[in-house]
Amino acid sequence: MYYSAENCEALKTEHLEVAGKCQRLVQSYLMRDWKDSRAREFATQGLLRRLQTLVRCIDNVFRIFPPDRAELPLPTSDELFDGMINIQAFVFNVFGSIDNLAWIWVQEKSLAKENGSAIPSAWVGLSENNTFVRNSLSNEFKKYLTMIKFDVWFDNLGSFRHALAHRIPLYIPPYTIPNDKEMVYRQFEDHKRKAIYVRRDFAEYKRLETEQKALATFIPQMTHSFEEKSDVISFHPQLLTDFLTIEGLAEKMLQELDGQREPGDTDAAC
């Protein structure tokens, strides 16, 4: 088992709280009296759908790969691919949720250029590069983004999102060989090759394969490109952290919408 017993219980407990957190947000956004119909659509048809998708993805991943799982998944098994599909969908919808929050703010507050024209879509976002929208937010919201290290989190997640969208999809390695067993693992590869190609001993090949497989361990991690030496991240805590980040941003955005005065127009470049 990769996680300690204590960490397993903590992950399971946090997972059980996700659905309730989502439901409270759904109710808050549905009950709000929206001034702008487009903002309402971004909230109810965009953000809320994505939040529920995030919860479903987390549920599926925790069902397929419980934190205390030690059993190796087969490299071509449905469960392995289903786990990867849910993680990939999760990452896309995390990014979509952030964009929805930015669009909610832009539409509900009628943000526009100084000349009254609509701001370009590329300007809409919450990252540090989206200076027009960031400058329209209250100091309290900006401090919150700094406190949760939003830009660092956003950039780290972005590397996975961009790889998923444009290069290598996110991947769950079916097994890992501990460093202290790598040499023995390679020796088994050589013995297997001789058994099957030199001696044609299929029984021996099977025996060696079973012993070799016993060296492997399952680590619940995700990555993308081995050539790029991409980060390898434990996906259970990462999914929960990402959801909680979106939850916090969504709650803060409601406070921002209802508590801040109308922001002045600004012509800051994106």
pLDDT in tens, 201-212: 888 888 888 877
Q: Is the pLDDT of residue 268 over 70?
A: no
Q: Is the pLDDT of residue 142 over 90?
A: yes
Q: Beta-carbon neighbour count of residue 270 at 10 Å?
A: 15
pLDDT at 76: 77
Of 11, 263, 2, the closest CA to residue 137 belongs to 263
Average pLDDT (183-190) is 80
pLDDT at 225: 65
Enumerate the domain spans of the chain. 5-173+231-259, 177-216
pLDDT higher for 224 or 136? 136
Q: How far apart are CA 106 and CA 133, in angstroms?
A: 7
pLDDT at 86: 96
pLDDT at 110: 93
The DSSP result for 72-103, as a single string, is PPPTT-HHHHHHHHHHHHHHHHHHHHHHHHHH
Q: Is the pLDDT of residue 62 over 90?
A: yes
Q: How far apart are CA 228 and CA 244, in angstroms?
A: 29
Q: How far apart are CA 117 and CA 100, in angstroms?
A: 21
Average pLDDT (110-136) is 91
Place of tokens 């329209």: 136
Residue 138 pLDDT level (bands cut at 50, 70, 90): very high
Q: How far apart are CA 254 and CA 246, in angstroms?
A: 12
C-alpha radius of gyration, the chain, whole number: 23
Q: Which residues contact 241 (CB under 8 A, 6 or more apart)?
A: none
pTM to 2 decimal places: 0.85
pLDDT at 169: 79
Average pLDDT (245-255) is 96
Q: How far apart are CA 122 and CA 102, in angstroms?
A: 11
Task: Give the number of C-alpha atoms closer than 13 A to the C-alpha of residue 96, restricted to the C-beta side.
Answer: 19
Asked whether the beta carbons of 159 and 89 are under 8 A apart, the reply is: no
Alpha helices in 109-201 (DSSP H): 131-136, 139-147, 150-166, 182-197
Q: Which residues contact 212 (CB under 8 A, 6 or more apart)?
A: 185, 188, 189, 192
Residue 269 pLDDT level (bands cut at 50, 70, 90): very low
Of 243, 208, 254, 270, the closest CA to residue 86 belongs to 243
